[in-house]
Amino acid sequence: MEDLDPVYIQAPEHRSDSNFIPNQPEEIPVIDLSRLDDHDDVQNVISEIGDACEKWGFFQVINHGVPCDTRKRVEKTVKTFFDLPMEEKIKVKRDEVNPVGYHDGEHTKNVRDWKEVFDIYFKDPMVIPSSTDPEDEGLRLVYNKRPQFPSDFRETCEEYARHAEKLALKLLELISLSLGLPKERFHNYFKEQMSFLRINRYPPCPRPDLALGVGHHKDADVISVLAQDEVGGLQVSRRSDGVWFPIRPVPNALVINIGNCMEIWTNDKYWSAEHRVVVNTTRERYSIPFFLLPSHDVEVKPLEELVSLENPPRYKGYKWGKFYVSRNRSDFRKLETENIQIDDFKVAT
């Protein structure tokens, strides 16, 4: 067996075989959104989404309205980009000023991920706080990096991101309805949204038993809309007992998951699940998540409508933008301490 650089080695309790029980009869739900065209079925779809958000924090959707050919085009162009020599790719490398573009050294929970990524802001430029200091109200603009090759890269990714955003907002309406809230409850939160599209490439790995494509984590966003290819490897931890389940690739489906913001807004009714990516020795894998993120000034705290004397808020609020800038510092290098987590905002009980 080839040696693996120790920076990639996961602690034994986080490796791909830990708490994974193969051949479980249960599956993460796959919901057909074309059923929304049938008036008599709309309410069922809404409650199935609500149940999935509560039980798993994950589901897949089919007939979701993101055109197949747009997805095929983006899959093709990103592969052309990642196949370029490293000298080309690092021309659009992420830096401390603009934390987007190409990157091959991300750390999740301080262990290096076996992957390379390319991030693209949905809004270019995007507005973010200029510092992590809560008293400092300064803002700055951050800009996308644009690879010169392939020439359609930027346009194709942006087109795909527009469709993914539309779907994310549609799902957000259905989620609001499932909570008994007005459909537009969350609309104001996205005026200066900090959403971004990420392209993940997981190269074949000599030791998938020790390394992970992405270590166990929760997404910090509102909801994620992820296109995965046919290779497979994404796993989710079941809310009730922490057992890991595979998210099986379903042709043309998109994987949806609840992020920390939604978990906090719903005061833990909806679940932001831990997930991870297992790699393999022979095949590269691609996935393209769209992370729906609020504007920098949105306060992430349990919604008033969803708390009561019997169900008091479980989190103190935080400003989304400040959380993002604090979090982003840690993507570059291994830190001595764990980076900021939503549990830091939990109310002591």
Bond before 294 cis per omega within 30 degrees? no
Of 98 and 200, the one with the shorter C-beta distance to ligand OGA is 200
Which of 48, 106, 116, 219 is close enough to bind ligand OGA by CB under 6 A? 219
**Is 228 a residue that touches ligand OGA (CB under 6 A)?**
yes
Of 108 and 144, the one with the shorter C-beta distance to ligand OGA is 108
Of 46 and 120, the one with the shorter C-beta distance to Ni ion is 120
Neighbour tally for 167: CB within 10 Å: 21
Tell me what percent of the chain is helix, strand and coil, each rounded to the nearest 5.
30, 25, 50
Which of 14, 93, 166, 198 is close enough to bind ligand OGA by CB under 6 A? 198
Q: What spatial distance separates the first Cα and last Cα of the chain, rounded to whole Å?
A: 49
Residues 6+ apart with CB under 8 A from 83: none
Quick check: helix, strand or coil at residue 251? coil
**Cβ-proximal residue to ligand OGA, closest one:** 287
228 touches, from ligand OGA, Ni ion, none (C-beta below 5 to 8 Å by class): ligand OGA
Of 231 and 307, the one with the shorter C-beta distance to ligand OGA is 231
Stated as kind and residue range, the H or E segment containing 175 is: helix 153-178
Neighbour tally for 345: CB within 10 Å: 17
Shortest distance, position 194 Cβ to ligand OGA, whole Å: 15
CA–CA distance, 247 with 71 (Å, rounded to integer): 19
Shortest distance, position 12 Cβ to ligand OGA, whole Å: 21
Q: Per-residue x/- marks for Ni ion, 197-236, CB under 5 A?
A: ----------------------x-----------------
Shortest distance, position 276 Cβ to ligand OGA, whole Å: 7
Give me the DSSP letters along 35-99: GGGSTTTHHHHHHHHHHHHHHTSEEEEES-S--HHHHHHHHHHHHHHHTS-HHHHGGGB--SSS-
277 touches, from Ni ion, ligand OGA, none (C-beta below 5 to 8 Å by class): ligand OGA
Please list every residue from 275 through 334 that binds ligand OGA, using CB under 6 A. Answer: 275, 277, 287, 289
**Is 119 a residue that touches ligand OGA (CB under 6 A)?**
no
Of 108 and 295, the one with the shorter C-beta distance to ligand OGA is 108
330 touches, from ligand OGA, Ni ion, none (C-beta below 5 to 8 Å by class): none
**Is 60 a residue that touches ligand OGA (CB under 6 A)?**
no
Shortest distance, position 94 Cβ to ligand OGA, whole Å: 15
**Is 263 a residue that touches Ni ion (CB under 5 A)?**
no
Residues 6+ apart with CB under 8 A from 152: 73, 77
101 touches, from Ni ion, ligand OGA, none (C-beta below 5 to 8 Å by class): none
Give per-residue burial for 99-130: e unless 16+ CB within 10 Å, then b: bbbbbbbbbbbebbbbbbbbbbbbbeebbbbe
State CA 38 to chain mean position distance.
30
Is residue 212 exposed (0-12), middle (13-18) or buried (19+ Cβ within 10 Å)? buried
Binding segment (CB under 6 A) for ligand OGA, from list 36-44, 59-67, 160-168, 226-234: 226-234
Binding site for ligand OGA (CB under 6 A): 198, 200, 214, 219, 226, 228, 234, 275, 277, 287, 289
Binding site for Ni ion (CB under 5 A): 219
